[in-house]
């Protein structure tokens, strides 16, 4: 509650006024404050968190003695935390387009790129308030039993014309972009989105499209043959394909999306959080992560630590990265609510 926050501030001011002798100490809290014994990091959980535990949390704890506690990265919670100055997280990993939105509302701490090395990062991944940590792809996938080899859609235009039913995400981000590519917009000329043109393109397939809600659902409808072709994220079909499920995919005209590390504005252990992000963004950490989950590194130096087979599955390996384009998170931070409203209206 805001009132509670104000009380805290007043108290702190009172302390500063009353204890003049202590003011010298309080001026350098970062120097004198003991390092925390644990930090809370909010992520998407599941396999992602398990992997971080293995490849980043464990080395971090070994190095600093600071334990890591996981938490779900519920987006509304970030806002509530910062508004009420009651911090439960020291840092978080969220979808980059959400980070951009949160940064715009002043909910994130500026990152210290003196501590986090951005010299090797992919262009556009280091933002003042968040840094993108991986590259996933929203791409074309198909059921190999129902779509004959060679007949799979090579582009979004072909995806739009594919026989049978197709699947797309029930959200405007990414779906609007592929609708424009289907209508012939070049992958590097997507922004600012021509919203009307995207809806006209979507109109053509509305009746033969199943709009799915979650990534798990997109993989399930593909594998079960509920749809012939679907857009999905590479992390959702990579493992099933390897396990022999009737699903395949490619990166042509893929739209690259990211998760990002960020620190809630005013969070107490800022210095340690920056150090953690610096470690997480290192080539070694990112390479180790990519060996477990097929989300490619944003640190290009990580690629040289990976073998050819692993790189084949990663959206940000040289060969795959050239086939697609990045989602413009700033566009969505500026226009998400407005375009989202139009999208909801279009779906009804």
Partner 1 sequence: MAGGYAWLLAAPAAFLALFFAWPLVRVVWRGFTDPVLGLGNYARVFGDGPYLRVMLNTIETAATVTALCLLVAYPVAYVMAKTRGRWLQIMAALVLIPLWTSVVIRSYAWMVVFQRRGVLNDLLLATGLVDAPVSFLPGALGVHVGMVHIMLPFMVLPLLSSMRAIDGTLLRAAEVLGASPTKVFWRVFLPLSLPGLNAGVALVFMTSLGFFVTPALLGGPQHMMAAVLIEQQANTYLNWGMASALSSTLLVVTLAIYVVYLRVSGGAADAALVR
Beta bridge partners of 91: 41
3-state secondary structure 140-169: EEEECCCCCCCCCCCCHHHHHHCCCCEEEE
Which one, 202 or 283, has the nearer CB to partner 1? 202
Candidate list 39, 221, 257, 327; residue touching partner 1; CB under 8 A:
221
For residue 338, give Cα distances in angstroms to 172, 173, 334, 342.
11, 12, 9, 7
Q: From the CB of 206, what's the least distance to partner 1, in Å?
A: 9
Q: From the CB of 340, what's the least distance to partner 1, in Å?
A: 6
- Residues in CB range of 155: below 8 A, 6 or more apart: 140, 181, 182, 252, 253
For residue 235, give Cα distances in angstroms to 95, 153, 249.
15, 20, 11
Which one, 53 or 104, has the nearer CB to partner 1? 104
What is the distance between the alpha carbons of residues 48 and 63, in angstroms, rounded to a whole number?
21
Q: From the CB of 200, what's the least distance to partner 1, in Å?
A: 17
For the segment 42-101, give every residue that binds partner 1 (CB under 8 A): 74-76, 79, 98, 101
Any contact of residue 345 with partner 1 (CB under 8 A)? yes
For the segment 153-192, give every residue that binds partner 1 (CB under 8 A): 165, 170-171
What is the distance between the alpha carbons of residues 35 and 46, in angstroms, rounded to a whole number?
28
Any contact of residue 210 with partner 1 (CB under 8 A)? yes
CA 224 to chain CA centroid, nearest Å: 27
**What length is written for the chain?**
348
Q: From the CB of 95, what's the least distance to partner 1, in Å?
A: 9
CA 301 to chain CA centroid, nearest Å: 20
Can you read off the two tokens belonging to residue 277?
């992000």
Q: Identify the CA nearest to 216 among candidates 240, 243, 251, 250.
A: 240
Q: Where are the beta strands (DSSP E) in the chain?
A: 38-43, 67-72, 91-95, 131-132, 136-143, 166-169, 209-212, 229-233, 247-257, 259-262, 325-326
Which one, 66 or 168, has the nearer CB to partner 1? 168
Query: How many chain residues are in contact with partner 1, going by CB under 8 A?
Result: 29
For the segment 104-163, give every residue that binds partner 1 (CB under 8 A): 105, 107
Which one, 17 or 345, has the nearer CB to partner 1? 345
Any contact of residue 225 with partner 1 (CB under 8 A)? yes
Candidate list 42, 92, 99, 102; residue touching partner 1; CB under 8 A:
102
- Which one of the spans 124-132, 212-220, 273-281, 313-321 is the region binding partner 1 (CB under 8 A)? 212-220
Candidate list 7, 115, 203, 224; residue touching partner 1; CB under 8 A:
224
Q: Is the peptide bond before 192 cis (omega within 30 degrees of 0)?
A: yes
For the segment 324-343, give every residue that binds partner 1 (CB under 8 A): 336-337, 340-341
Which one, 158 or 226, has the nearer CB to partner 1? 226
Residues that bind partner 1 (CB under 8 A): 74-76, 79, 98, 101-102, 105, 107, 165, 170-171, 210-211, 213, 217, 220-221, 224-226, 336-337, 340-341, 344-345, 347-348
């Amino acid at each position: 509650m805001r009132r509670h926050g104000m009380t805290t501030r007043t108290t702190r001011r009172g302390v500063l006024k009353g204890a003049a002798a202590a003011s010298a100490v309080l001026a350098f809290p970062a120097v004198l404050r003991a390092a925390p014994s644990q930090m809370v990091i909010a992520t998407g959980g599941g396999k992602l968190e398990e992997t971080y535990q293995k490849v980043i949390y464990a080395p971090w704890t070994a190095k600093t003695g600071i334990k890591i506690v996981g938490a779900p990265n519920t987006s509304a919670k970030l806002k509530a935390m910062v508004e009420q100055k009651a911090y439960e997280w020291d840092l978080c990993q969220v979808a980059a387009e959400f980070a951009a939105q949160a940064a715009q509302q002043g909910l994130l701490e500026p990152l210290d790129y003196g501590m986090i090395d951005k010299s090797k990062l992919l262009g556009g991944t280091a933002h003042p308030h968040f840094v993108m940590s991986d590259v996933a792809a929203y791409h074309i996938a198909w059921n190999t039993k129902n779509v004959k080899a060679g007949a799979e859609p090579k582009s979004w235009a072909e995806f739009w014309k594919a026989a049978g039913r197709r699947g797309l995400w029930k959200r405007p981000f990414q779906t609007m972009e592929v609708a424009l590519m289907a209508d012939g917009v070049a992958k590097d000329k997507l922004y600012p989105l021509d919203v009307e043109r995207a809806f006209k393109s979507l109109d053509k397939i509305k009746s033969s499209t199943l709009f799915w809600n979650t990534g798990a659902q997109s993989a399930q409808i593909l594998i079960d043959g509920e749809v012939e072709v679907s857009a999905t994220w590479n992390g959702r079909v990579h493992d099933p394909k390897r396990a022999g499920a009737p699903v395949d995919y490619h990166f042509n005209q893929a739209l690259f999306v990211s998760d990002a590390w960020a620190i809630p504005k005013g969070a107490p252990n800022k210095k340690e959080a920056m150090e953690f992000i610096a470690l997480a963004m290192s080539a070694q950490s990112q390479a180790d992560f990519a060996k477990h989950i097929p989300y490619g590194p944003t640190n290009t130096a990580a690629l040289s630590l990976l073998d050819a087979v692993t790189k084949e599955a990663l959206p940000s390996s040289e060969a795959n990265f050239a086939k697609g384009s990045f989602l413009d998170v700033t566009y969505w931070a500026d226009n998400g609510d407005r375009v989202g409203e139009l999208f909801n209206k279009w779906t009804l």
